[in-house]
Structure 1
Amino acid sequence: MPTRILPAVGDADAVRSITTLLSQLPDAEPVAPVVDSTQLIDTLARLAAESVDELPEVVVVHERIGPVPALELIREVALRFPAVGVILVTSDASPGLFQAAMDYGARGLVALPLSYEELASRVQAVAQWSVGVRRHLGAGGDVFTGVGGTVVTVSGAKGGTGATLTAIQLALAAQASGRSTALVDMDLQTGDIASYLDVQFRRSVVDLAAITDISPRVLADAVFRHDTGLALLLAPAEGERGEDVTDRAARQIVSALRSRYEVVVIDCGAQLGGAGAAAVEMADRALLVTTPDVVAVRGAKRAVRMWDRLQIRKAEETTVVVNRHSRATEIQPPLIQRITGTAVAATAIPANFKELQSVVDAGRIHELENKSSVKQALWGLAGELGLVKVPEGAQKAGRLRGVDRGAVSFRRRKEG
């Protein structure tokens, strides 16, 4: 059986060199190369969705791949597609880099300039490893059926726009619909999810920051299991400790969570740090919560432009959520969309703090009544984003009514 090899190389000259050598290997079947980290993950996810058997046995990652650094990309591939063997091609063949590559999940390292003999030897060894792993675990077994969970980040255009409330309710909606869900507080200095959910905790996201291999057991030790079923990974009680969570650590943590939960909702707060930027860059959906006032909308526009300048996320890849919406406000969602250049969620969250005050003050936001218009809209937003799993016939039976009504509430207001 031929060995399928997927090169991940951003440099045009390197692509030609690697693909030429790969095509000369015995029993090798090189596939079309991918040019960046995003395309690699998307390609592997698409193949895994069709069948695990469609995944290549070997992925060759060039050291200059981007935008995600090569080692962190290798870690994500190893976590999400554990039977795919990864080889790192690098100009640095030092023992230190070799050890780091192995720690991140690589199965081999080949030095530049490429040698046919060395490449052939590594590819053969890694392919045999991959085939052995698949045989041991069973091809098509449950362990490989997932392609990674959906990651959604929630950021505030400025402080006080309701990003934390939005993140919590999105996570609650996903969990209530039957999806395994993790809620992460990446607002590292001022995060307050624990207060909203009346949680006393010992572990936090900081406890994972220095760990290079986040195993399921290590992750389980850091996560707090809430009464609602949510898995909570909380911000540290001492805000200054948040500095320990670097962008590199954040990538490792998000990758570990994505590999073990169907939905991961991350509250990034209103202040952008390295960890939050990494989370927004990795997210499948990035939400930016604003209120319909001049200061907040300016903050949203400023955030979107900054994300674009830093190459974290393009405006058209960002979704603005309008909180505290009212027909009486002068600034309406279509205007916000024009100002920010983003998509705007069809579901707007109504201005009705009276519904929230008692549960917020009690730290029991998860006990917000189902009839609350705010909850219905937020759970409707979760439906709009595809975070909830709606059982067949659930709409007729009246379950998840908040999702149904909330998802159309803003459309009705527009039509009216």
Structure 2
Amino acid sequence: MTTRILPAVGDPDAARAVAALIGRLPDAEPAGPAADSTQLLDTLARLAAESLDELPEVVLVHERIGPVPALELVREVALRFPAVGVVLITADASPVLFSAAMDSGARGLVTLPLGYEELASRVQAAAQWSTGVRRHLGAAADTPTGPGGTVVTVSGAKGGVGTTVTAVHLALAARASGHTVALVDLDLQGGDIASYLDVQFRRSLADLATISDITPRVLQDAVYVHETGLSLLLAPGEGERGEDVTDRAARQIISALRSRHEVVVVDCGTHLDAAGAAAVETADTALLVTTPDVVAVRAAKRVVRMWDRLQIRKPEESTVLVNRHQRSTEIQPPLVQKITGTRMAGVAVPAAYKELAAVVDAGRLHDLDTRSSVKQALWSLAGELGIVKPAAGGGGALVPAGAKDRGAKDRGALGLRRRGGGR
């Protein structure tokens, strides 16, 4: 039986050494090495989207992989791709590390310097385990086998640009189309999704931060199910507790949510901390919200450059949304795209704060009128991002009920386009 092996090695010299040794293994089919954690997860997600059978049987994770630490990457792969056997390559052969690797989901550990016999033994054991899991999953068609739900992060270029309103309505649009949706408030010091949705709930993200194994029961206890059907995971009421939510905790929490929801929307706020960086890095879509003014656009440029410098996300892999757009303003979306070097959302949200004032003040953002131009634009954006199910009959992206009655002229003025079912 052929064993497909995908190595993840950051150091070029180590990558060549690993590839040379893999090439000597019998019946091995090595793939080109992934240079970092992002590339590895993206590759596995792409293969899983095609078919379970396209995934490699074995992934080798080198201890010097980055930017996500090796043990956290092992945990992430094990959670998102349970049919893949992960083997950790490390110079530390201590019982403590071995135990930590097993707890993270590794199927074996190979010590440096690499030896042929040890590598062959661990790869063979991981491949046999993977084959058994796939045989079991093949007999249970309803068992999740892919990368899990879609994760969308929403970040603000600066305070007051509409980050939370955007995140909430993306989640509402996805839920209204029939998806199971989790909405996470990862603005750990200043997040207030609870106030926008009229929620009083004492549990928060901080309650999950120190838990090493987030079971469905544990997650259920921390999540508030809103009247709209959204599963809310809120920011802590005491801002100082946000320090407990590390990058490792954020990855684990998001992985647990995406394994149980079809869509996970994360409000990252405007302040970049370790948890927010982890969320943006692992997201399928990273949305950055700005307004069409010089201060906000400069801030958006700084955020994009910072993400790039810290190897969180490349500019071309991020999407910028212009909020409070007016046709009369000098700064238009094409200029924002040129300045930031990112993709631009096809929708610009119009400047219509009066439509929002009453529901925001009442803490009932979910009651925003379906005729609202802001709601129509944000729900259209949800369709563009692929987080809503197409309307019955292949009619394209979901739009709020009543929006069709406004006429083609009004939709054009709002920047809304009808999206075909082929997107």
- Aligned partner letter, 2:68: V
1:357-376 aligned at under 5 Å gives the runs 357-376=357-376
State the match for 1:278 in structure 2: 278
Structure 1 distance, partners of 2:301, 2:29, is 47
Identical aligned pairs, as a percentage?
74
Shift of 1:18: 2.2
Structure 1 distance, partners of 2:403, 2:78, is 35
State the match for 1:13 in structure 2: 13
Structure 2 distance, partners of 1:147, 1:409, is 38
State the match for 1:219 in structure 2: 219
State the match for 1:141 in structure 2: 141
1:289 maps to 2:289: yes
CA distance 1:314–1:175, change in 2 (3 Å) = same
Structure 2 distance, partners of 1:46, 1:338, is 29
Structure 1 distance, partners of 2:142, 2:224, is 26
1:95 maps to 2:95: yes
- Aligned partner letter, 1:279: A
List gaps (5 residues or longer) in structure 1.
Answer: none
1:152 maps to 2:152: yes
List gaps (5 residues or longer) in structure 2.
Answer: 418-423
Shift of 1:385: 1.4
SS state at 1:24 partner: coil
- Aligned partner letter, 2:147: V
State the match for 2:193 in structure 1: 193
Name the stretch that deviates more: 364-373 or 403-412.
403-412
Structure 2 distance, partners of 1:291, 1:47, is 37
Structure 1 distance, partners of 2:342, 2:53, is 38
Structure 1 distance, partners of 2:29, 2:331, is 57
Structure 1 distance, partners of 2:40, 2:396, is 41
State the match for 1:390 in structure 2: 390
How large is the RMSD of aligned CA atoms in angstroms? 2.4
- Aligned partner letter, 1:13: D
- Aligned partner letter, 1:89: I
Shift of 1:412: 7.3
CA distance 1:214–1:130, change in 2 (3 Å) = same
1:240 maps to 2:230: no
CA distance 1:245–1:226, change in 2 (3 Å) = same
Shift of 1:140: 6.9
State the match for 1:266 in structure 2: 266
SS state at 1:143 partner: coil
Does the 8 Å contact 2:173/2:398 carry over to 1?
Answer: no
Structure 2 distance, partners of 1:407, 1:153, is 27
**Normalised TM-score (structure 1):** 0.92
CA distance 1:255–1:194, change in 2 (3 Å) = same
- Aligned partner letter, 2:386: G
Structure 1 distance, partners of 2:28, 2:299, is 53
CA distance 1:126–1:190, change in 2 (3 Å) = same
Shift of 1:218: 2.1
Structure 1 distance, partners of 2:233, 2:6, is 34
CA distance 1:274–1:6, change in 2 (3 Å) = same
State the match for 1:314 in structure 2: 314
Shift of 1:410: 5.2
1:174 maps to 2:174: yes
State the match for 1:325 in structure 2: 325
CA distance 1:118–1:321, change in 2 (3 Å) = same
State the match for 2:47 in structure 1: 47
CA distance 1:357–1:411, change in 2 (3 Å) = closer
- Aligned partner letter, 1:21: L
CA distance 1:407–1:36, change in 2 (3 Å) = farther
Does the 8 Å contact 1:257/1:264 carry over to 2?
Answer: yes
- The Cα offsets for residues 170-206 of structure 1, whole Å up to 9 and x where unpaired, read as 0100111112111110000010001101111121111
Name the stretch that deviates more: 108-117 or 339-348.
339-348
State the match for 2:421 in structure 1: none
Structure 2 distance, partners of 1:259, 1:52, is 16
SS state at 2:321 partner: strand
Name the stretch that deviates more: 54-63 or 197-206.
54-63
CA distance 1:142–1:197, change in 2 (3 Å) = same
CA distance 1:22–1:385, change in 2 (3 Å) = same
**Normalised TM-score (structure 2):** 0.91
Structure 1 distance, partners of 2:67, 2:92, is 19
SS state at 2:23 partner: helix
1:393-408 aligned at under 5 Å gives the runs 393=393, 395=395, 400=400
Structure 2 distance, partners of 1:9, 1:308, is 20
- Aligned partner letter, 1:110: V
CA distance 1:87–1:293, change in 2 (3 Å) = same
Structure 2 distance, partners of 1:363, 1:356, is 11
Shift of 1:129: 2.0
- The Cα offsets for residues 191-235 of structure 1, whole Å up to 9 and x where unpaired, read as 000110111112111111112222233222211111111111110
